[in-house]
Amino acid sequence: MQSLKGKHIVLGISGGIAAYKSAYLLRLFIKAGAEVQVVITPNGKEFITPATLAALSGKPVVSEFFAANTGEWHSHVDLGLWSDLMVIAPATASTIGKMANGVADNMLITTYLSAKSHVMIAPAMDLDMWAHPSTQRNISTLQKDGVEIIMPSSGELASHLVGKGRMQEPDEILRRVELYFSQKESLKGKKILVTAGPTYENIDPVRFIGNYSSGKMGFAIAEEAAARGADVTLVTGPVSLDTACQSIRRIDVRSARQMLDAAEIAFEECDAAILSAAVADYAPEECHDSKIKREKTDGMILKLVKNPDIAATLGAKKKDKVLVGFALETDHEHDNAVEKMKKKSFDMIVLNSLQNPLAGFNKDTNQVCIIKKDGSETEYPAKSKREVASDILDNLEDFFK
């Protein structure tokens, strides 16, 4: 599918080892139908040749203010106006610093300063450089200036050190670009609460009861709702996910109690709540202040007490708000889901299939059946969680019509 058909992208490349991945990113943009103009810094050319980039993009690469042979002036202003989106990948510490301070000493920065379009950067550098207060200060300046940061991931770096600073993979950058261009206005003006992830119920300071929920489904819903213009509050249990959209208000919690407190506050203001969190049904009656020592116990019985039911609590005071719940059932799937929808005052319930190996915890795909309180229901095939999020929000929008 040519999701970027006809879009003009300026791909900025600065001088870091991750520049070798920019060729693949460029290829992905072209395959998705975009027209791409590469602008590379002088140091960038040390890491990847303009010949490779020109061949892949089908356009001469811009790097200097003046073309070497003809002396022709490259207009950064024209480029800035041409672009529908500017993506700088990799963005080195130096480029980030120059962007934050308007140091226009190369073609990439002058193009950035002239760009009327949205700008995304994918930082890449060594972990200490990323963690340095000056880099972090520059990043938050850029965020305030409206630049979208595709946060680096953790892993092995070119220095062989392990930590945060790896440029996001080209596939993830493409996903973020597609997300940007798929933005609609269909949920503009709506406030939406999403709960996501597991909850952890502490036994003592180092142990807890939890579950395998990754939060991926809830995060995909929050991102898709934000991409449709909604004002999103995401209350999430402990997960290792970043929120792609900076407009999402993210509240990190740990236990079901904390999730309830945060959700109740956000619920007052919202038009709809989508409850995808896998809330622990029980928590230890008592959380020990210090670590339980093995030699002091000869086996133990942990007394559990029921956690609050967040869905039912919100359902009891929902008035005209739309409430969407999830169900994961092992038997009598359909009937149990309908029963759950009624019991918790949901307007719509998303039944996760347990039959399909492509569905469930920690997967990137899911298969669902969406049942509405008017009795209508739609079975969907297995899809990516992002596509499932889109189906869920299409159904949610029916309630606002």
Least separation in angstroms between CB 218 and ligand CTP: 9
Instruction: Give whichever of 93 and 220 is closer to ligand CTP, judged by the CB atom.
Output: 220
> What character string, x for contact with ligand CTP (CB under 6 A) and - otherwise, covers 246-265?
----------x---------
Identify the CA nearest to 28 among candidates 49, 6, 47, 4.
4
Least separation in angstroms between CB 394 and ligand CTP: 19
Least separation in angstroms between CB 276 and ligand CTP: 6
Instruction: Please choose, out of 57-65, 222-230, 309-317, 360-368, the segment that lies near ligand CTP by the rule CB under 6 A.
Output: 309-317
Identify the CA nearest to 143 among candidates 121, 162, 116, 169.
121
User: Does the footprint of ligand CTP cover residue 311 (CB under 6 A)?
Assistant: yes
Instruction: Please choose, out of 4-12, 204-212, 292-300, 323-331, the segment that lies near ligand CTP by the rule CB under 6 A.
Output: 323-331
User: Does residue 366 have an active-site annotation?
Assistant: no
> What character string, x for contact with ligand CTP (CB under 6 A) and - otherwise, covers 190-229?
-----x----------------------------------
Report residue 205: phi and psi, to 5°: -60, -15
Identify the CA nearest to 353 among candidates 328, 388, 385, 384.
328
Applying the rule CB under 6 A, the residues between 138 and 197 that interact with ligand CTP are 195
Q: Give Cβ neighbours of residue 87 (< 8 Å, ≥ 6 apart).
A: 9, 10, 11, 12, 25, 119, 120, 121, 122, 173, 177
Residue 245 class from Cβ within 10 Å (0-12 exposed, 13-18 middle, 19+ buried)?
A: buried
**Catalytic residue among 43, 202, 211, 336, which?**
211
User: Does the footprint of ligand CTP cover residue 36 (CB under 6 A)?
Assistant: no
CA separation for the pair 346, 100 (Å, rounded): 46
Identified binder of ligand CTP from the candidate list 325, 351, 385, 396, rule CB under 6 A: 325
User: Does the footprint of ligand CTP cover residue 326 (CB under 6 A)?
Assistant: yes
> What character string, x for contact with ligand CTP (CB under 6 A) and - otherwise, covers 336-365?
----x---x---------------------
Q: How far is CA 104 from the centre of its chain?
A: 31
Residue spans of alpha helices (H) in 185-297: 216-227, 256-269
Instruction: Give whichever of 112 and 326 is closer to ligand CTP, judged by the CB atom.
Output: 326
CA separation, residue 298 to residues 288, 290, 295 (Å): 17, 18, 7
Instruction: Give whichever of 328 and 354 is closer to ligand CTP, judged by the CB atom.
Output: 328
Report residue 348: phi and psi, to 5°: -155, 145
Instruction: Please choose, out of 128-136, 169-177, 273-281, 291-299, the segment that lies near ligand CTP by the rule CB under 6 A.
Output: 273-281
Please check whether residue 333 is in contact with residue 354, taking contact to mean a CB–CB distance below 8 angstroms. yes
CA separation for the pair 29, 372 (Å, rounded): 38
**Hey, which residues are catalytic here?**
211
